Chains A and B, each alone.
Chain A
Amino acid sequence: MDKILQQTLSLAGAIVLLTGCVTTTVDEIVFNEPTEGIGDATVVILGRRHASDYDTEPDFIKCVGRHISSRDKSIEILGELEFINALYPWFEPRTAPLRPENIHKLMQQAPVARKMAELKTQYMIWIDGNVERTNSSGSMACAIGPGGGGCFGFSTWGTEANYEAVIWDFTNRAEVGRVHTTTSGQSYMPAIIIPIPIIAPVKGTACNGIGNQILKFLSSKY
């Protein structure tokens, strides 16, 4: 038993040591929070994909959705692809509404209004942002020969995640909340024969930060 505990503690210690440092800042503006949760309505989280030099990553959108639904099982999150396929072509980058006022025009189309009623979507959350590498330094050399190979050196790089979530109340066609998160971290990779990456979990921390704030907004339990 002691051996298992010792091994678990060593593994946990190794994970902690192999994780780079991360700092995160979350700003939240709430205009109109639901007082008793969202009931049986559904929520959809969508990524903004209008910028020319980046795209909000689909895996980040999935991560935020998973974070929310795993903490409050009563909140039904619609999958991003499932939603945009069901409403094709009205939520493509070219046609997606940019302001809540545009929903009115969209709902004038009977098939769209019917589908929205069928999906029971009350909140639509738009997430915009990405992860960028900010700096990198150090050097590493690797070599391979008949007797084997290995690397030697040290490199480090910084990563910054900037995401903004805008919450729209679909029924009232208004923006009801806004959450902004900035997360930065430094990753390291020392190499003495074997490179050991110590990665800062910037994206994961940003996902948890933004997910917690949205959860506070949507859930009656938090």
Chain B
Amino acid sequence: MSASMIFDHNSRRLLRFTSWLTALVLLSACGAKQVVVQGQFPSPLMDRLPLTLGVWYMEDFANHEFFDESKSKKESDWIVKTGEAQVKMWDTLLSGMFENLVHLQAKPDPDTMNQMVDAVLIPHVEELQYAIPTHTHVKVYEIWLRYRFELVTTRGDPIAEWTMTAYGKTPTAFMQSDEAAVNLAAVMALRDAGANFVVNFTRVPDVQQWLQLKRGGQEEADHG
């Protein structure tokens, strides 16, 4: 093999490598930024409510994702997938908050056979907003969520319905990517959602009334 052939072979490889690298750089500039939210969620430190709660995650909740199209060429599209983390957080929270947590086999409905529970919680994510330093010129990444909860009987009859917000933010950090920071802000927002739910669940007027009825019924059964 002559020296010129070796040179040709090497230069061709170098040229190919450079082309790939250029293509990669160009493509990374155009692509959407995607975050699949991942985090650890602790169990709440509290006395469990003496109830068996059923939970039903709708498909759009369990696979919740948020897509934001860029408004200019300088910005990127964003996809924030929170579904998996939502289920993980709410499962951990509700297991620590209620004596028993049951995952229902079907949506509560008069015609569907379901497990026996005191009530069924159906969470919905109504809205998600995010902000990154390039949008706001503030050195924090933010996620804001609005939830709607339905508390129903196993037959699907409404007991209570209310909305709740959650907010999470994280400061900019050296060598931290936008994706990692948005993930951390989302985890903070989910933790905040859990905190808000723990503090305010028994303060929702319809829930309060239902709990009183449950307690009354229980006392009657105990005395009777």
Contacts of B169 in A (CB 8 A): 49, 55
Q: Are B171 and A93 in contact (CB under 8 A)?
A: no
Q: Are B171 and A88 in contact (CB under 8 A)?
A: no
Interface residues on A, range: 20 to 34
Cβ of B42 within 8 Å of any chain A Cβ, yes or no, is yes
Which of A87, A92, A110 sits near B191, CB closer than 8 Å?
Answer: A92
Contacts of B195 in A (CB 8 A): 88-89, 92, 94-95
Cβ of A85 within 8 Å of any chain B Cβ, yes or no, is yes
* B25, chain A: closest CB distance, angstroms: 13
Count residues of B near A (Cβ-Cβ below 8 Å): 21
Q: Which residue of A lies closest to B137 (CB)?
A: A53
CA distance A87 to B109 in the complex (A): 38
CA distance A92 to B171 in the complex (A): 16
Contacts of A59 in B (CB 8 A): 173
Q: Are A53 and B138 in contact (CB under 8 A)?
A: yes
Contacts of A155 in B (CB 8 A): none
Residue picked from A54, A86, A110, most chain B C-beta under 10 Å: A54
CA distance A110 to B171 in the complex (A): 34
In the complex, 18 of the A-B residue pairs with CB atoms within 8 angstroms, ordered by the A residue number, are A53-B140, A54-B138, A55-B171, A57-B173, A59-B173, A85-B42, A86-B45, A88-B191, A88-B195, A89-B199, A92-B191, A92-B195, A93-B192, A94-B196, A94-B199, A111-B45, A112-B45, A115-B45
Q: Add 15 more A-B contacts to A53-B138, A88-B194, A89-B45 (CB < 8 A).
A: A53-B140, A55-B171, A57-B171, A88-B42, A88-B45, A88-B195, A89-B195, A92-B191, A94-B192, A94-B196, A95-B195, A95-B199, A109-B45, A111-B46, A115-B45
